[in-house]
Amino acid sequence: MLEETIRKHRQLKPMLIMSHLVLGYPSFEENRKIIDVMARSGVELVELQIPFSEPTADGPVILKANGLSIKNGTKVQQCFDFAAEVSQTYPEVSFLIMTYYNIVFVQGESEFIKKAKKSGIKGFIIPDLPPEEADGWLKLCLDEQMNSIFIFTPTHTQQRLVEISQVANGFVYCIGRRGVTGTKTEFDSTLAQQIEKYRLATKLPIALGFGIQEKSDIDFLHGKVDIAVIGSQLITVQEQMGVAGVEDFLKNIRSS
């Protein structure tokens, strides 16, 4: 299972990296090049986002990428086919699907989970699916030995964090600040205290995302979280400096 894989990696590394890309943006061919760079740079987990027209948790960078991917004609089945290709090519990487529940609902929960498993996917991040409405989803994931990753936010009470942790598996995705993706997060004592609250609520590995933009942010998180999540910044780097820029960025944040 995913939790065991993460813990094995953590025995060898102080912190793991989870990267993010929007499938079909700017093209699947460009996605292939970026994933190759991610794998060669030692990224342990990759979120493959199936584009959706209203990605409510995402900021302007990922929102634009979703819209352009849809405009390009990206289909859900293409995303599953692509996931199968990269999971076979890079077995050392744990690939996850990130999307919104409308996509799952239209496909059908059981069908969606089975297609993902067949494609080599290890789990799911569905930001707009609350635990109270996920009983059927969670049972299906358990039956197929798939991981359902839930989200901790700064607005949750400690009791709510514990409740979410009780249904989560794999790891917990922790939000660094209020708002949507892409905006710079302040990496300071307030964030450190928030991470401690997250830690107290779960025994699962924790990932922190939203607003990681540079190496100093990664350095701050060492010893505090198990996984650092980088999304919007990688898309911005790719748009400005291409595949080579993404490779340089990933190598830099991993340098000591």
Both tokens assigned to 124: 């799911």
| DSSP annotation string for 125-155 | E-TT--GGG-HHHHHHHHHTT-EEE-EE-TT
What is the three-class DSSP state of 35?
Answer: helix
Chain centroid to CA 110: how far?
Answer: 21
- CB-facing half-sphere around the CA of 77: CA atoms within 13 A: 0
> CB 170: neighbour CB atoms within 10 A?
27
The one catalytic residue among 44, 47, 109, 226: 47
**Lookup result for tokens 């300071």:** 188
Residue 219 designated active-site: no
Angle, alpha carbons 62-29-182 (nearest 5°): 15
Q: Which residues contact 114 (CB under 8 A, 6 or more apart)?
A: 144
Cis status of the peptide bond prior to 60, with omega within 30 of 0: no
Strand partners, 229: 18
Residue 92 designated active-site: no
The one catalytic residue among 44, 58, 226, 247: 58
Chain centroid to CA 164: how far?
Answer: 17
Q: Which of 49, 39, 48, 50 is nearest to 17 (CA)?
A: 39
Alpha carbon distance 222, 233 (integer Å) = 19
Alpha carbon distance 223, 192 (integer Å) = 11
Instruction: Name the residues annotated as catalytic.
Output: 47, 58
